[in-house]
Amino acid sequence: LVSQNPSFPIITAALVFIVLTYPFVDKLLRNITDSFLFQREYNRQELLKQLGRSITESIDLEDLKTKIRDTLRQAMRVEKIEFQLDTQRHDHVWNEIVANHELIVYDELKRKLEGIKDSPERRRLESVGEQMSDQHVAVVMPVLASEGVIGTITLGEKVGGDAFTSTDLEALETLVFQAGVAIENAQLFTETKKFNKKLQAEISAATKDLQERNRRLTVLRQLDNIILNTLDVTEMAQKIVDLVSWEMGFGGALMVLYEEEAGNAYLRAVAMSSSPLFKRALEVLPRKLTDYRIAYGLDPSNVLYQAISQRKPIATTSFRDIYVPPLNNALADAIQKLTKSEHMVVYPLSVKGQILGATIFTLPCPYKDLSLNDTELIQSFMDESGIAIENARLYDQLEDRNKELKYKNVQLQALDRMKDELVSVASHELRTPMTSIKSYLWMALHKEKNNLNPKLTMYLDRAYQSSDRMINLVNDMLSASRLEGKRVELQLKADDVVQIVKRVVDDLRVRAKEQGLKITFHGGKNIPPALIDTERITEVIYNLVGNSIKYTPTGNIDVFIAKNEYRSLDDLSTNNAKGYVWVSVKDTGQGIAKEDLPRLFKKFSKLEQGSFVKTAETGGTGLGLYITKGFVELHGGAIWVDSDIDKGSTFTFSVPVA
């Protein structure tokens, strides 16, 4: 054989080598394979662990779905992964998931059907299998949350047609609850975002409307000032048309007044806006403005006559329609060009049905395009202007009006006192039953705790907290009412403010810690006792430190106490020979804008920006700082604030040394 096959020795040697090295090679290959499979399984488990961590941290629904989808694709090589979060479905798969709260695996379902004879159960499972087959679904995973099944995650076949292993299914079962809770939280977050967006839009619209209303009130208030401070008709008319230019935001105005002479009626120009454009127009007139008048009713097509006789505003784009004659066409065109009056409207001026004249407004746009707020503003403005002109013409009636206003003012003051008394009585009547309710709730929560299930405990705790908030609101209203009615009586005595501040800080330290805040009391040395009502000053310190905790997102709160000879930074006179004790509360919040500082201590005042006010979740009546200021000033002290945006706020108050 050797002579017939020269390669025989080589083959023989190779066979011998394989026989001798086989155990080693086999072991090596096994180790490599085991290592590869272990590493792949380890990587998959790590991916699933990472997914479990990430879905508990994600609150955006789409981001959460993407993380789940990408991880399952990478770990199990599944291309088709769909989320169905509609709980109004009524198909076979959904009904099976809702009934059993378990994974549905298509391969297992087929094997299970092989062992079931014809029965309602078999027909039900066949319907489920047919639906999964039609939709090319291999696994249906329930999304379980606190309220039950809120949806499903469907997985298609693996790439290459591999079956889902038991390890795959165990991992999916682990994710059922994690994914369910995470998706439920994400849905709540999404709904909250939508609600907040809608709320912001409504707030924005309301704010815009409020700004328009404030503009309207400002104009009308200034018009009221004109009415009260001006008697001459021409001077009053000039102030009114100037108000149109400078405050109402329109181009300007021209006022004409109705007058009778020798049995004839006329409309005489009495005032034109004194803005630069209208002043240039006055310069081109060959005579004084008041020398120009129109015979009333002589030309029925005249826009002034039509507006007054029909008692409605009439728009026009040509000054010729208004004041020709007495002006000629060229002069009318020149005035319109100089004043840039492309759009005009004539409003009749009257009071109590009596004709007084009219006002021509130059507008930034056609009259029909004006906003409702603008048209209401013009109408209110004309109503007030009619009263103003009439009052200027009939000065003797002004005295009667003033007497009537004084009487009305007395009535309003009486009504205001009645309101304060009503608030005081109502607060007293509310506080007693609310205190009883709070006490019974506390007894139910603490003395019958072992007989309550968790859900009932939660409801009682919420009711307890709500009653506590209601009592605080009632107390605030009662304190505010007493302050307004000057019915607060102080029980003054010499007391240690340092110990009072220390007790308040210690009481609120846990609350501050729960919000991640560090609160520190920097006790001063040699602080003398102050002449105070201990209960009232304790309430003042609780209000200031509590506000800092409530409106400081992160950072520190520092409370300082010191002796100073002055009452405040703005009052360097020494009203108390012994000096004053100053208490300061400093936080690291967002700060308060300078223009908002004067509003802080007013009743029902709640800012819309800065660290002092959040959004609606803070609640409250807006009375806390008003009450705080009232109590401090009753002691003969003062309260003030120093704040800058993004730098925090420092509230300081002083009380006299005993």
pLDDT, tens digit, for every residue of 139-163? 999 988 888 888 999 999 988 888 8
Q: How far apart are CA 280 and CA 274, in angstroms?
A: 9
What is the crossing angle of helices 534-550 and 624-634, to 10°? Answer: 150
Q: How far apart are CA 175 and CA 169, in angstroms?
A: 10
The pair of structure tokens assigned to 180 is 């369910």
**Where do you find CATH 1.10.287.130 in the chain?**
399-484
**Where do you find CATH 3.30.565.10 in the chain?**
493-656
Q: Looking at residue 520, what DSSP letter applies? A: E
What is the crossing angle of helices 8-57 and 166-229, to 10°? Answer: 30
Strands 343-351 and 493-495: unpaired
pLDDT at 378: 87
Q: Of the spans 218-232, 310-324, 414-428, which averages the highest pLDDT?
A: 310-324
Residue 184 pLDDT > 50: yes
Model confidence at 50, pLDDT cuts 50, 70, 90, reads low
- Sheet containing 517-522: give its strands across: 517-522, 555-564, 580-587, 648-656, 639-644
The pair of structure tokens assigned to 286 is 């060959």
Alpha-carbon distances of 219 from 21, 214, 524, rounded to whole Å: 105, 9, 52
Among 605, 525, 520, residue whose Cα is nearest residue 562? 525
pLDDT at 234: 84
In total, the chain counts a number of residues equal to: 658
Q: How far apart are CA 209 and CA 372, in angstroms?
A: 10
Residue 38 pLDDT > 80: no
- Which H or E element spans position 350? strand 343-351
pLDDT, tens digit, for every residue of 212-238? 778 777 877 887 787 777 777 888 888
Residue 571 pLDDT > 60: yes
Q: Which of 88-102, 417-431, 504-518, 616-630 has the lowest mean pLDDT?
A: 417-431
pLDDT at 620: 58
- Give the mean pLDDT of 168-195: 85
Task: Provide the 3-class DSSP secondary structure of residue 149.
Answer: strand
Q: Which of 10-14, 128-132, 507-511 has the lowest mean pLDDT?
A: 10-14
DSSP letters, 366-383, are: -GGGS-HHHHHHHHHHHH
Which amino acid, 584? S
- Give the mean pLDDT of 105-118: 89
- Give the mean pLDDT of 373-386: 86
pLDDT at 62: 87
pLDDT, tens digit, for every residue of 450-493? 778 888 888 888 887 777 767 766 776 667 777 776 777 888 99
Model confidence at 573, pLDDT cuts 50, 70, 90, reads low
CATH architecture of 493-656: 2-Layer Sandwich (3.30)
Q: For the chain, give the mean pLDDT.
A: 83
pLDDT, tens digit, for every residue of 16-30? 777 777 676 666 666
pTM above 0.85, yes or no: no
pLDDT at 305: 92
Residue 137 pLDDT > 70: yes
pLDDT at 610: 44
pLDDT at 424: 62
Q: How far apart are CA 349 and CA 218, in angstroms?
A: 21
Residue 352 pLDDT > 50: yes
- Give the mean pLDDT of 590-607: 79
Residue 396 pLDDT > 60: no
CB 316 within 8 A of CB 353: no
The pair of structure tokens assigned to 130 is 């047919």
pLDDT, tens digit, for every residue of 273-283? 988 888 888 88
Which amino acid, 234? T
297 backbone dihedrals φ, ψ, rounded to 5°: 90, -5
pLDDT at 615: 37
- Give the mean pLDDT of 586-604: 85
**Where do you find CATH 3.30.450.40 in the chain?**
18-189, 230-393
CATH architecture of 230-393: 2-Layer Sandwich (3.30)
Q: How far apart are the first and last CA of the chain?
A: 128
Residue 210 pLDDT > 90: no
Residue 556 pLDDT > 80: yes
pLDDT at 616: 39
Q: Which of 48-62, 172-186, 328-342, 600-614 has the lowest mean pLDDT?
A: 600-614
The pair of structure tokens assigned to 636 is 């003969």
Q: Please, which residues bridge with residue 258 across strands?
A: 267
- Sheet containing 314-316: give its strands across: 293-295, 264-272, 252-261, 354-363, 343-351, 314-316
pLDDT at 161: 83
Q: Which CATH class is domain 399-484?
A: mainly alpha
Q: Which CATH class is domain 18-189?
A: alpha beta
Q: Please, which residues bridge with residue 53 across strands?
A: none
